[in-house]
Amino acid sequence: MTTDRLLSVRHLLAAAVIGLALLAVGCKAADVPVGTLLGSDETPDLSRPTGKPEFDRLDPVLRSAFQEARAAAERDGVRLVITSGWRSRAHQERLYEDALVKYGSPEEANRWVATPDQSAHVTGDAIDIGPTDGAIWVGQHGAEFGLCQTFANEMWHFELLTTPGGTCPEMLTDGSVRR
């Protein structure tokens, strides 16, 4: 079998597996939640409206802080992307329900996913940053822009928790602990 033919067969099998997985969980294109970037690898210019609620519904000061951090990271050769920004209450509820199934108890689920009433994403006050080297960069330099890693178990989750150039508060162990 030729290499091209082998790759075609692999792509077909991968598509079939994904299709079956989506069928198994009852996912349709219409089920895609508002407030999720779903694998986007770019963050637009946030200095003006983007037409995307996951960006436009973020706190304006948070958007500005991210823009400044992104420019500084780029000067250091590091790319920053918002992998999740504002989330609708309905989407946050689905994430929480999924976590209950995945982790088996509210106590364990709460370590990783907040309820809609407690999520800073729902209020536009939190962003998840990727890729990994970008999250590490913000973890090291974020306080210069007011961005602080909130939870020790979520290296990607940042909120405005200090003034630019200030000191970030000590990280919370996980999402089950609140300030």
Tell me 45's DSSP state: -
- Share of the chain residues as helix, strand and coil, in percent rounded to the nearest 5: 45, 10, 45
**Token pair in block for residue 83:** 């992998």
Residue 170 lies in a domain: no
Q: Are residues 14 and 78 in the same domain?
A: no
Q: Are residues 8 and 80 in the same domain?
A: no
Question: HSE of 135 in the Cβ direction (CA atoms, 13 Å)?
Answer: 20
Average pLDDT rounded to a whole number, residues 28-55: 66
Nearest-angstrom CA–CA distance, 75 and 93: 38
User: What single-letter DSSP state applies at residue 50?
Assistant: -
Show the domain range for 11. 1-31
Looking at the structure, tell me whether residues 46 and 78 fall in a common domain: yes
Asked if 1 and 66 sit in the same domain, the reply is no
pLDDT at 178 over 90: no
At residue 41 the predicted structure's pLDDT band, cuts being 50, 70 and 90, is low
Q: Does pLDDT of 170 surpass 60? A: yes
Does some domain include residue 14? yes
